[in-house]
Chain A
Amino acid sequence: MRTYKQINDRIASGKAVVLTAEEIIDYVERKGEEKALAEVDVVTTATFGPMCSSGCFLNFGQCVPKIRISECTIDGVEAYGGLAAVDVFLGATQLRVNAPANLTFPGEFSFGGAHVIEKLVAGEMVEVIATSYGTQDYPRRELRTEVCIHDLNQAIMVNPRNCYQNYNVAVNCSEKRLYTYLGQLEPNMQNASYSSAGQLSPLLNDPWYETIGIGTAVWLAGARGHVHAEGTQHFPTCQRNHNGVPMEGAGTLGLTADMKQMQRKYVRACSFRGYGVSLALGVGIPIPILNQRILRQVCVRDSEILAPITDYSLDYPMKTGRVLGYVNYEQLKSGQIELDGRKIATSSLSSYSLALEIAELLKAEISEGKFLLSEPLQLLPREQSSKPFPIREKTI
């Protein structure tokens, strides 16, 4: 048994024993559970993949005369100005004003909010155009200028939903190609697409949210950030494997961090043909080895994590709930899965290679005493299910 305080004291004195969620598996196998429990303080988890529900609050500072922004575009992408004077919110999936989207299908979606966010993090200049209805205290009616992130007072990333605990494996049972947020799905189940770091992924290593909760310190794209809320669509009530690991999406996290401290390598805009723009983010979350139960949970391996194979031509859009079968991440990562005797090529949208790199980076930061853990201020719900969107005919 360990407490957060004991672990942080060990981290601060540079003595903490830290392993990645991949290393701990072999370590426990070699040394035995008892020894590992006595030795290991922290296990680092990580993931890197597209997380559409991301965005940022920006504060531009004031110009002379002052402006109270009502409409704003940044590099042609609309940022929401329904906040105080020079605050805006820029969403990752927002397209350029007048972008052709899917007018000629499949659209290219070559630029959007995510690209602006990546440019800002990289320190590049972006063009801001803003208008206002003008008031007596904020007389300016329009402006056009170029700024970079260093000119801004604040650039705070606030993501309503990151780090899906687990995810679907998408296939296409129809006769025509599908363009989805999981990439192109070829007809007649020619390929399967998944998106999770499996055994390295944060919430798969803490299936019941015992250490990851509101207030948990996280590594978000190189910056020190926090879990600020349960993620939107956090639905922990779901089918779970014997080890407690969800067999579907399940939990999610709301994350926030200072964009000025982020690194471009881990904040990457992506364009999905026929679908839209998204933002891929790198996240690392440390798990304190408080007790034996938590140690057992971080030893989860790819072969013990199941994901549902879902038909994106019908079952996903029509929300039928039908699952074609379950496969584990060891099979998915092998490049080929089998479904009803058929072999299907797999590929991922989440980068295991970058997740490994992030788990190592976080491990180094903790080992060097630069990253302390924080105990959750509030735990995430462990029971909660999805509500449907009611479509009500309005009767006059």
Chain B
Amino acid sequence: MKSEKILLRFPKTETGKPIVYHLIKDYNLVVNIYVAKITQDKEGYLVVNLTGEEADLARGKAFLRSLQVQVESVENGILRDNSRCTHCGNCVSHCPTNALHIADRKTMRVELDQSLCIACSLCTTNCPFGACTSVF
């Protein structure tokens, strides 16, 4: 069994399709949805965790790509502009996964552990300095 956290971008033409259903039914994947969003331009975004046999995972991702869904790493979902971040720490108590955290209480610098981020965007609405931006 393998688990993978990915960011899916759906073009306008694919947002109406029951893609998650197929991932579960046809590829035996356990799908945990962190974020689902459709933008004003009718593009869709899903941040999901897929769990299943390695072969099923590969087939599932190939299926997604065949539908012109872009499969990306979640790490690309949230960007923190280090030149704008003041390390105030306001985002820390709003981040549900501790991706944003203070590692050293002496310097109080705010670190971002991309591997924990689920691209929920809570930091983008909670950063007063506009340092965090979301791709969707």
Task: Write the nearest CB–CB distance from B100 to chain A, whole angstroms.
Answer: 10
Are B94 and A352 closer than 8 Å at their CB atoms? no
Are B94 and A353 closer than 8 Å at their CB atoms? no
Q: Which of A273, A347, A356 contacts B93 (CB 8 A)?
A: A347
Q: How many angstroms between the C-alpha atoms of A356 and B94 in the bound complex?
A: 24
Are B128 and A271 closer than 8 Å at their CB atoms? yes
Q: Which of B108, B125, B128 contacts A353 (CB 8 A)?
A: B108
Are A347 and B89 closer than 8 Å at their CB atoms? yes
Q: How many angstroms between the C-alpha atoms of A335 and B98 in the bound complex?
A: 12
Q: How many angstroms between the C-alpha atoms of A49 and B88 in the bound complex?
A: 8
Q: How many angstroms between the C-alpha atoms of A348 and B126 in the bound complex?
A: 12
Which residues from chain B contact A287 at a C-beta distance below 8 Å?
Answer: none
Q: How many angstroms between the C-alpha atoms of A318 and B87 in the bound complex?
A: 32
Number of interface residues of A (CB under 8 A): 31
Task: Write the nearest CB–CB distance from B31 to chain A, whole angstroms.
Answer: 28
B91 at the A interface (CB under 8 A): yes
A91 at the B interface (CB under 8 A): no
A348 closest partner in B (C-beta) = B89
Indicate with 1 or 0, residue by residue over B98-136, a CB within 8 angstroms of chain A CB atoms: 000010010111100000000000000110111000000
Which residues from chain A contact B69 at a C-beta distance below 8 Å?
Answer: none
Which residues from chain B contact A269 at a C-beta distance below 8 Å?
Answer: 129
Number of interface residues of B (CB under 8 A): 21
Q: Which of A250-289 contact B (CB under 8 A)?
A: 268-273, 278, 280
Which residues from chain A contact B109 at a C-beta distance below 8 Å?
Answer: 353
Q: How many angstroms between the C-alpha atoms of A356 and B92 in the bound complex?
A: 19
B125 closest partner in A (C-beta) = A273
Are A351 and B102 closer than 8 Å at their CB atoms? no
Are B86 and A183 closer than 8 Å at their CB atoms? no
Which residues from chain A contact B91 at a C-beta distance below 8 Å?
Answer: 347
- The A contact surface, by secondary structure, is strand
Which residues from chain B contact A272 at a C-beta distance below 8 Å?
Answer: 128
B90 at the A interface (CB under 8 A): yes
Q: Which of A278, A346, A354 contacts B87 (CB 8 A)?
A: A354
Q: How many angstroms between the C-alpha atoms of A346 and B86 in the bound complex?
A: 17
Q: How many angstroms between the C-alpha atoms of A269 and B109 in the bound complex?
A: 20
Are B105 and A333 closer than 8 Å at their CB atoms? yes
Are A268 and B129 closer than 8 Å at their CB atoms? yes
Q: How many angstroms between the C-alpha atoms of A268 and B86 in the bound complex?
A: 9
Task: Write the nearest CB–CB distance from A247 to chain B, whole angstroms.
Answer: 22
Are A335 and B88 closer than 8 Å at their CB atoms? no
Which residues from chain A contact B93 at a C-beta distance below 8 Å?
Answer: 191-193, 335, 345-347
Are B107 and A183 closer than 8 Å at their CB atoms? no
Are B105 and A349 closer than 8 Å at their CB atoms? no
Are B107 and A350 closer than 8 Å at their CB atoms? no
Which residues from chain B contact A184 at a C-beta distance below 8 Å?
Answer: 94, 125-126
Are B105 and A183 closer than 8 Å at their CB atoms? no
Which residues from chain A contact B105 at a C-beta distance below 8 Å?
Answer: 333-335
Task: Write the nearest CB–CB distance from A250 to chain B, whole angstroms.
Answer: 22
A312 at the B interface (CB under 8 A): no
Q: How many angstroms between the C-alpha atoms of A351 and B85 in the bound complex?
A: 10
Q: Which of A335-364 contact B (CB under 8 A)?
A: 335, 345-354, 356
Q: Which of A185-206 contact B (CB under 8 A)?
A: 191-193
Which residues from chain B contact A345 at a C-beta distance below 8 Å?
Answer: 92-93
Q: How many angstroms between the C-alpha atoms of A184 and B91 in the bound complex?
A: 10
Which residues from chain B contact A192 at a C-beta distance below 8 Å?
Answer: 93
Given A183-B126, A183-B128, A333-B105, answer yes or no on A193-B92 (Cβ-Cβ < 8 Å): no
Which residues from chain B contact A280 at a C-beta distance below 8 Å?
Answer: 86, 88, 128-129
Q: How many angstroms between the C-alpha atoms of A271 and B88 in the bound complex?
A: 14
Which residues from chain A contact B92 at a C-beta distance below 8 Å?
Answer: 335, 345, 347
Are B89 and A354 closer than 8 Å at their CB atoms? no
Are A351 and B86 closer than 8 Å at their CB atoms? yes
Are A349 and B90 closer than 8 Å at their CB atoms? yes
Q: How many angstroms between the C-alpha atoms of A51 and B108 in the bound complex?
A: 20
Q: How many angstroms between the C-alpha atoms of A345 and B122 in the bound complex?
A: 16
Interface centre among A48, A345, A353 (most CB of B within 10 A): A353
9 A-B residue pairings within 8 Å (CB atoms): A183-B126, A271-B128, A272-B128, A278-B128, A335-B93, A349-B89, A351-B87, A353-B107, A353-B109
Q: Pick the 9 closest A-B CB pairs, nearest first.
A: A270-B128, A347-B93, A353-B87, A352-B108, A345-B93, A191-B93, A351-B88, A351-B86, A348-B89
7 more A-B residue pairs beyond the given contacts A273-B126, A335-B102, A356-B107, with a C-beta to C-beta distance below 8 A: A183-B128, A184-B125, A191-B94, A193-B90, A270-B128, A349-B88, A349-B128
Which residues of A are in contact with B by a Cβ distance under 8 Å? Answer: 48-50, 110, 183-184, 191-193, 268-273, 278, 280, 333-335, 345-354, 356
